Amino acid sequence: MKANAWKRSVAPRAPAVPMQPLIDAAGWDPKQMAVSDEWTYTLSDAERGEVLDAVASREAAGGSLLDTRREDFSLPSFAARLRDIRDELMTGRGFVLIRGLPFEAMSQSAFATAFWGVGLHLGAPISQNAQGQLLGHVKDIGGAYLEDRAYTTKAALKFHCDSCDVLGLACIHAGKSGGEHLLCSSVTVYNEMLKRRPDLLKELIGLYPRARPGDGYGADTPWIMQSIFAFHDGYFTSRAASQAIDKAQKIPGAPKLTPSQIEALAVFRAMCDEFALEIHFEPGDIFFVMNHTLMHSRKAFEDWPESHRKRHLLRLWLSNGVRPLPDDIAKRMSGVKSKTGAYTASLEVA
């Protein structure tokens, strides 16, 4: 087993001020990250044993994952390291890849339980869609990119942020080719735009129309107005320029983008591609990323023809309330309301 090289960030953070350079550990250089393994946490034999013991205890207790509380998933020594990881996610570089579970020897149920239990130490699972899924599935089921939830397709995704504090992904199967996960630091893009095009940076701090995510909590209009770059209590946050902005332009009555806004979006999206870090998932990998300073996307992929080999990731949306957020963003961090009022953590794709 490879030694654990994971380390906490040492870069400082200063209060964030609009139109001033950001000093934040989340403002990393993808070229440096690509040759570093400080963001990969490799479980020790003892930690791996703790996770497996907690899984066995949970499975012996029976019932649903929904009944599992953090204290039910006991990790005597690993829990302290997970607190460090949570702090690193929320105030440091913003992401971690956890490796070392004996995935090939685990059932899918046991792996999902391990993912769920580790996630509980980083935040509380919240619903990801109108079906009330707290344990989601990223899998191509034949959806169309602009008409359906993008994670149900095999298309490349634009850089975006999810409606949660921390996104968790656990790899069951990788695709035949492609599908690499991409990360980009909003802090890095902001600072580069400040250097290159401060005129367009001002546009991104302004408000853009976005199609509402269908969270089920009601609204006067099917769109919202939200900044791409925002500030609150000395903290910076970003909501990216995802397909929600493109969708809003098709909604009758939604404000049309100005030429300057369109140019700012184009430059922003080009910079996201320029400063992207590519991450390859292997079966058994567990990955967490903080949504308020990082953006994520995915390359298009070709899948295996056999149903049991198709690309399949488990997904968690976690809420922990650690980072101060603007009110308009904070109130959309509670997940998606179930249409039926029921919530699930199923191993099957809904």
**How far is Cα 303 from Cα 22, in angstroms, rounded to an integer?**
40
Domains of the chain, residue spans: 43-330
Architecture of domain 43-330: 4-Layer Sandwich (3.60)
Cα separation, 327 vs 316, in Å, equals 23
Q: Model confidence over 121-153: pLDDT tens digits?
A: 999 999 998 889 999 988 765 554 444 455 566
Whole-number average pLDDT of the chain: 90
Q: What is the 3-state secondary structure (H, E, C) of 234-273?
A: CEEEECCCCHHHHHHCCCCCCCCCCHHHHHHHHHHHHHHH
Query: Between 240 and 97, where is the model more confident?
Result: 97
Smallest CA-to-CA distance from 347 within 314, 317, 318 is with: 314
Rounded distance between C-alpha atoms, residue 324 and residue 322, angstroms: 7
Residues 347, 70, 110: CA angle, nearest 5 degrees: 30
Q: 156: left (phi > 0), else alpha (psi -120 to 50), else beta?
A: beta
Question: Measured between alpha carbons, how far is 255 from 244 in angstroms, rounded to an integer?
Answer: 13
- Using CA atoms, how far residue 251 sits from 148, 161, 203, 256, in Å, is 16, 21, 21, 10
Which residues neighbour 283 within 8 Å (Cβ) at sequence distance 6 or greater?
A: 103, 104, 171, 172, 173, 174
User: Who wins on pLDDT, 215 or 204?
Assistant: 204
Which pLDDT score, from 0 to 100, does residue 148 have? 44
Residue 172, CA atoms < 13 Å, CB-side half-sphere: 26
- Decide the pairing of beta strands 181-185 and 276-279: antiparallel
Residue 311 binned pLDDT confidence (cut-offs 50, 70, 90):
confident
Among residues 286, 278, 295, 314, which one has the least CA distance to residue 139?
314
pLDDT, tens only, 10-42: 999 999 999 999 999 999 999 999 999 999 999
Question: Is pLDDT at 302 greater than 80 in this prediction?
Answer: no
pTM score: 0.92
pLDDT at 170 over 90: yes
Per-residue confidence (pLDDT) for residue 1, from 0 to 100:
62
Residue 306 CA to residue 327 CA, distance in Å, equals: 46
Per the listing, tokens 């369109």 go with 262
pLDDT digits (tens, 9 = 90+) for 45-104: 999 999 999 999 999 998 889 989 999 999 999 999 999 999 999 999 999 999 999 999
Can you tell me the mean pLDDT for 281-294? 96
- How is 146-183 classified by DSSP, letter by letter? TTS-GGGSSS-EEEE--SSSEEEEEEEE--SEE--EEE
